[in-house]
Structure 1
Amino acid sequence: MSAFQTIRIETDPRGVATLLLNRAEKHNALSALMIQELTQAATLLGQDADVRVVVLKGAGKSFCAGGDLGWMQEQMAADAETRAREAKALAMMLNALNTMPKPLIGCLEGNAFGGGVGMTSVCDVAIAAEGIKMGLTETRLGLIPATIGPYVLARMGEANARRVFMSARLFDSDEAKELGLLAKVVAKDEIDAAVEAEILPYLSAAPEAVARAKRLALALGGNITEETIDHSISELVSCWETETAKEGVSAFFEKRIPRWVS
């Protein structure tokens, strides 16, 4: 595998690859470089005949805190074309993980916010430790969960997604399971065993058949189209242009309350 700066890939002799978000000091927030490297990793792992299963994890205390603060500041100063390009990169990274022809198992030992919920949604199965917090927190900043939206809706279904999609409220792992975002919630010291239990059946299945079955499931489930992705990008870019977003993001960085909080 190629050398990476923000992620790490380790593959055991069985062909189980661990894809580690490796910015623990930044709570594995998604920077432009991490987005680029995750896209590359999805392609590499998808093409590697020796890889049977991929496990997605986060180093340190968090699974993924969402967008990197530096990346957000750059978006504030950028023009619409640059914002669209960055949003496209995030959307295509999620699409690459979602369509990777290998089983993708999410192992959440820490919190997941914003883009971290999007990352959870593209896993074929996601297992979390008891007590973690999750949330689609974008509307607190005057933004919307746009590029992750197609994957969140595909995972939760519209009715469940609408319970948490707009309010930015945090919810725990038990509610995330109820919403369909997580498959299992276990004690933290049991999470490795729970992930292993998901891995084992795949090692007895034919890899090509697994890839074909995943592709079929995506197609039968209403595959997320290029038009859907482009629409989500357009919505995010137009949202960044609003005075509401400027106020929300500015308030966040200035550590003050935005004007809409009563």
Structure 2
Amino acid sequence: MRQSHTPAPETFALQYVNYHCTDRVASITLNRPEKRNALNYQMVTELKHAFDTAENDDECKVVILKATGQAFCAGADLEYLQQLKNNSYAENLEDSSHLMQLFYQIYTLKKVVIAQVSGPAIASGCGLATVCDFTYTVPSARFGYTEVKIGFLPAIVKVFLLRKIGEARSKELLLTGDLISAEKAKAFGLVNEVVPEDELDQAVRDLAQRLCVQNSGQAMEVTKEMIARVQELPLRDALEYAAERNALARATEDCQLGIQAFLDKQPMTW
């Protein structure tokens, strides 16, 4: 059985994003509360750097995305949107691709990502929660994609939202631009759990530690990868791909250790 050890935690603070990793759980914190954690180019850059750090840190197994202040993320920064009006198409495409890369990075990250939403998650802020693997929130939080109300498009997030909750509910959210309650977000499949505010931090931490201790990191990584991949394939191709991954998994150290522990009736702590 693997030996546990507790390395020194890694911590850094950028202009808008803080990073801290301890006990195999990395916390990436949006830290722009005076702007309701609204996104601008620099903040997206810092988030990409923080997620890249987590993915390449062998001591990190699970990532929590959370925020300081009253809002999780209010979407794009209004001053930043004002500046974009003067951009060329090429400049706007580069900027749009920058956000797309962040969403894709989170969605395909090798580590499990949990969104800890303690306040409103709106527009691209709701997109951040959408691309995470789990979302825990509080009863007072509101969710929605308000882009159509200002003549804008929820273009990038719809690719992920359709996968997550299906066409009918995606249309309701994206075409109305309305905000919905945490409970309705849970009913839609956008949120996993709604937790009292004073219990949210512990509930997310408990989930993160349960994933760390009870599950193989390698198995979670490949399972997450496969969930994304099989949706792109025709049925027969998806099944053949799944069979190949199944066969490869049987030869991994994690699988062999887990099976042996099961046969020996011994608990496995990863």
TM-score by length of 2: 0.79
| CA displacement 1:95-130 (0-9 Å, x = unmatched) | 111111001001000001000111011110101100
How far 1:179 sits from its partner (Å)? 1.1
| Correspondence for 2:98 | 89
Q: Aligned ranges for residues 213-224 of structure 1 at < 5 Å? A: 213-222=223-232
**Deviant stretches of 4+, over 4 Å:** none
Q: 1:29 aligns with which of 25, 38, 41?
A: 38
| Correspondence for 1:158 | 167
Q: 1:149 aligns with which of 158, 180, 188?
A: 158
Contact 2:13 2:19 in 1 (8 A): no
Q: 1:193 aligns with which of 193, 202, 205?
A: 202
Aligned mates of 1:170, 1:217 — CA distance in 2: 28
| CA displacement 1:218-242 (0-9 Å, x = unmatched) | 112338xxxxxxxxxxxxxxxxxxx
Secondary structure of residue in 2 paired with 1:48:
coil
Aligned mates of 1:203, 1:164 — CA distance in 2: 34
Q: Aligned ranges for residues 93-172 of structure 1 at < 5 Å? A: 93-172=102-181
| CA displacement 1:141-194 (0-9 Å, x = unmatched) | 011101222112222211111111111111110111111110111111121232
| Correspondence for 1:6 | 16
Secondary structure of residue in 1 paired with 2:176:
coil
Aligned mates of 1:117, 1:163 — CA distance in 2: 15
| CA displacement 1:61-108 (0-9 Å, x = unmatched) | 000000011210111111111111100000001111111100100100
| Correspondence for 2:189 | 180
| Correspondence for 2:53 | 44
Aligned mates of 1:170, 1:206 — CA distance in 2: 37
Aligned mates of 1:222, 1:118 — CA distance in 2: 21
Contact 1:94 1:119 in 2 (8 A): yes
Aligned length: 222
Answer 1 or 2: higher relative contact order, Cα 8 Å, separation at least 6.
1
Aligned mates of 1:50, 1:222 — CA distance in 2: 31
How far 1:206 sits from its partner (Å)? 2.1
**Which segment is superposed worse, 107-116 or 196-205?**
196-205
Contact 1:161 1:179 in 2 (8 A): no
Aligned mates of 2:13, 2:188 — CA distance in 1: 37
Aligned mates of 1:127, 1:187 — CA distance in 2: 10
Secondary structure of residue in 2 paired with 1:10:
strand
How far 1:2 sits from its partner (Å)? 5.8
Evaluate the alpha carbon distance shift between residue 44 and residue 180 of structure 1 in structure 2; reply closer, same or farther with a 3 A threshold: same
How far 1:202 sits from its partner (Å)? 1.6
Secondary structure of residue in 2 paired with 1:63:
coil
Whichever residue aligns with residue 172 of structure 2, its letter is R
| Correspondence for 1:258 | none
Secondary structure of residue in 1 paired with 2:222:
helix
Question: Which ranges of structure 1 fall in alignment gaps of 5 or more residues?
Answer: 224-262
Q: Bigger radius of gyration, 1 or 2?
A: 2
Aligned mates of 1:16, 1:3 — CA distance in 2: 17
Percent identity between the two aligned chains: 29
